Amino acid sequence: MKLNKGVLFILLGASFFGFTPIFAKLGFSYGYSLGQINIVQMVISSFLLWTFTLLKRSSFKGLNKKNVLQIMITGCFIGLTSIFYYGSMQYLPASLAIILMFQFVWIGIILEWIFSKIKPAPVTVLSIILILVGVFFASDILNGEIQGLPIKGFIYGILSAFTYAGFIFFSGKVAVNVDPWTRSSLMVTGSTILVFVLFMPDIPTVLPLEENLLTTAFGVSLFGAVLPPLLFAAGAPLVSGGIANILTTIELPIAILSASIILSETVTPLQWLGTAIILVAIAFNEFGTNLFRIRKHY
DSSP conformation letters of 10-36: HHHHHHHHTTHHHHHHHHHHTT--HHH
pLDDT digits (tens, 9 = 90+) for 22-44: 899 899 999 999 999 999 999 99
Cα distance between residue 241 and residue 84, in whole Å? 27
Asked whether 42 and 188 are in contact (CB, 8 A), the reply is yes
Cα distance between residue 4 and residue 172, in whole Å? 25
pLDDT at 79 over 50: yes
Long-range contact set of residues 256-259: C-beta below 8 Å, sequence gap at least 24: 256/95, 256/98, 256/99, 257/18, 258/18, 258/19, 258/21, 258/22, 259/21, 259/22, 259/25, 259/93, 259/94, 259/95, 259/98
Residues 6+ apart with CB under 8 A from 32: 212, 213, 216
First to last CA, the chain: 32
pLDDT score recorded for residue 2: 45
> 22: closest CA among 275, 255, 267, 266?
255
Cα distance between residue 224 and residue 14, in whole Å? 9
Choose from 128-137, 187-196, 231-240, 254-263 the range with maximum mean pLDDT: 187-196
Degrees to nearest 5, angle at CA 45 with 58 and 88:
135
Peptide bond into 208 cis (omega under 30): yes
pLDDT score recorded for residue 219: 92
> 100: closest CA among 67, 146, 64?
146
In whole numbers, what is the pLDDT of the chain averaged over residues? 83
Read off the DSSP letter of residue 268.
Answer: -
- pTM for the predicted model, two decimal places: 0.85
pLDDT at 80 over 80: yes
H-type alpha helices, 92-206: 94-101, 104-116, 122-138, 151-171, 180-198
pLDDT, average across residues 280-288: 76
Residue 17 C-alpha from the chain's centroid: 8
pLDDT score recorded for residue 214: 93
Asked whether 126 and 287 are in contact (CB, 8 A), the reply is no
